[in-house]
Amino acid sequence: MIGVIIIMLIWVLFPFYWAFLNSIKKPAETFQPTWIPFLQFKPTLDHWKAELAIPEIRRALLNSTIISLGAATLATILGTLAAYALARFHFTRPRNGSLTTWFLSQRVLPPVVVVVPFFLLMRQLRLLDSVWALVLLNATFLLPFPVIILSQMFRELPIELEEAALVDGANRLQVFTRIALPLVVPGLVATWIICMAFSWNEFLFALTLTSKSAIPMPVMIAGAEHTRGVQFWFVGVRVLLTMLPPTILALLAQRYIIRGLTLGAVKG
């Protein structure tokens, strides 16, 4: 069992180590079988300095931040409202189960199917090469996550708490904001981080709908190929720059992620 875990760790972590090595190697050393800094080669930070000095890289980091935070926040807000409605109200046309299936279908739908219609729509709205176009599209495809995750969490909450608040004179909005929401805060945080991570890594819409001003980091990583081939040292720097923000955020909020994903898993 330990051997399997070690193999899986190597399998998962090796690409990141490879990117780190390429980011601190000189171009001439990239294709040499050297794996240990200071012993087999002298590391350099020239590639990091060169990349961070490029205005397009800094703009891409800012674009990725705006897009991921905006899409995650919008999807979480709308998804929380829809999740509470599915958990507490009974619909007939269509039924709750049909609505849930419809939300799931939005995630199963391949994005490539709707790229051309969305491109034409954004061109008509004059939102091409705009971060707001990517915020709206990413939020649309992220919506199933908060709906499915939070609807189950709302169902696990004792309905007696809400009934008692209604008896005391609270309205539905007060019950939602003052009773239900505070009890699922860990789930909200976990859902928001999941949405942020998926939006941060989105590539197809970003490649199709951006050309200059709104390019995010995933597209910048793909742009490290030039006429001389792939510049692996720049790819390594861009990959690590892209990984750092969501990784740091996940580490800081891991307590909420664990609590949120396990909320309601054990009854009794």
Backbone angles phi, psi at 230, to 5 degrees: -80, 125
In this structure, of 9-13, 27-31, 206-210, the range with the lowest mean pLDDT score is 27-31
Distance CA 168, CA 162 (A): 10
How many beta carbons lie within 10 A of that of residue 212, not counting itself?
8
Most confident of 73-77, 169-173, 204-208, 261-265: 73-77
User: With bands split at pLDDT 50, 70 and 90, how would you rate the model's confidence at 249?
Assistant: confident
Longest dimension (CA), the chain: 75
The pTM score is 0.83
Q: Are 3 and 26 in contact (CB under 8 A)?
A: no
* Whole-number average pLDDT of the chain: 85
Domain ranges of the chain: 1-44, 47-262
In this predicted model, which residue has the larger pLDDT, 62 or 249?
A: 62
- Model confidence at 151: pLDDT above 50: yes
User: With bands split at pLDDT 50, 70 and 90, how would you rate the model's confidence at 242?
Assistant: confident
What digits encode the pLDDT tens for the residues 29-77? 777 778 888 888 888 888 888 888 889 889 999 999 999 999 999 999 9
Q: How far is C-alpha 181 from the geometric centre of its chain's CA atoms? A: 22
In this structure, of 27-31, 97-101, 190-194, 238-242, the range with the lowest mean pLDDT score is 27-31
Distance CA 4, CA 10 (A): 10
Helix residue ranges per DSSP H, 109-253:
111-124, 131-142, 144-156, 159-167, 172-175, 181-183, 185-201, 204-209, 217-222, 232-252
For residue 142, give the nearest of 211, 193, 95, 218 by alpha carbon. 193
For residue 146, give the nearest of 106, 96, 200, 94 by alpha carbon. 106
Q: What is the pLDDT of residue 139?
A: 93
What digits encode the pLDDT tens for the residues 187-196? 888 889 889 9
- Model confidence at 268: pLDDT above 70: no
Q: How far is C-alpha 63 from the geometric centre of its chain's CA atoms? A: 14
Q: How far is C-alpha 62 from the geometric centre of its chain's CA atoms? A: 15
CATH architecture of the domain formed by 47-262: Orthogonal Bundle (1.10)
- Model confidence at 263: pLDDT above 70: no
Q: What is the pLDDT of residue 190?
A: 85
Q: Are 112 and 207 in contact (CB under 8 A)?
A: no
Q: What is the pLDDT of residue 227?
A: 54
Q: Which run of H or of E encompasses 229?
A: strand 229-230
Q: What is the pLDDT of residue 80?
A: 94
Q: What percent of the chain has pLDDT over 70?
A: 93
Contacts of 151 (CB under 8 A, 6+ apart): 82, 83, 84, 86, 87, 100
